[in-house]
Amino acid sequence: MGTSVLSLRIDHDLLERLRHHAAKRGMSVQDYVVRTLVRDDFDQRFQAAVEETERFYGTPGSPDSFGTPDPTGSPGSGDEDQVRPSAGIR
**HSE, side-chain direction, 13 A CA sphere, residue 61:** 5
Say if residue 58's pLDDT is above 90. no
CA angle 30, 33, 37 (to 5 degrees): 135
Residue 63 contacts by C-beta under 8 Å, 6 or more apart in sequence? 69, 70
CA–CA gap between residue 32 and residue 41 (Å, rounded) = 14
Say if residue 44's pLDDT is above 70. yes
Say if residue 65's pLDDT is above 50. no
Predicted confidence at residue 25, as pLDDT, reads 95
CA–CA gap between residue 73 and residue 63 (Å, rounded) = 10
CA–CA gap between residue 65 and residue 73 (Å, rounded) = 16
* Average pLDDT value for residue range 28-48: 91
pLDDT confidence tier of residue 90, bands split at 50, 70 and 90: very low
Give the helix ranges, DSSP H, for the chain: 12-24, 29-57
**Domains of the chain: which residue ranges?**
10-55
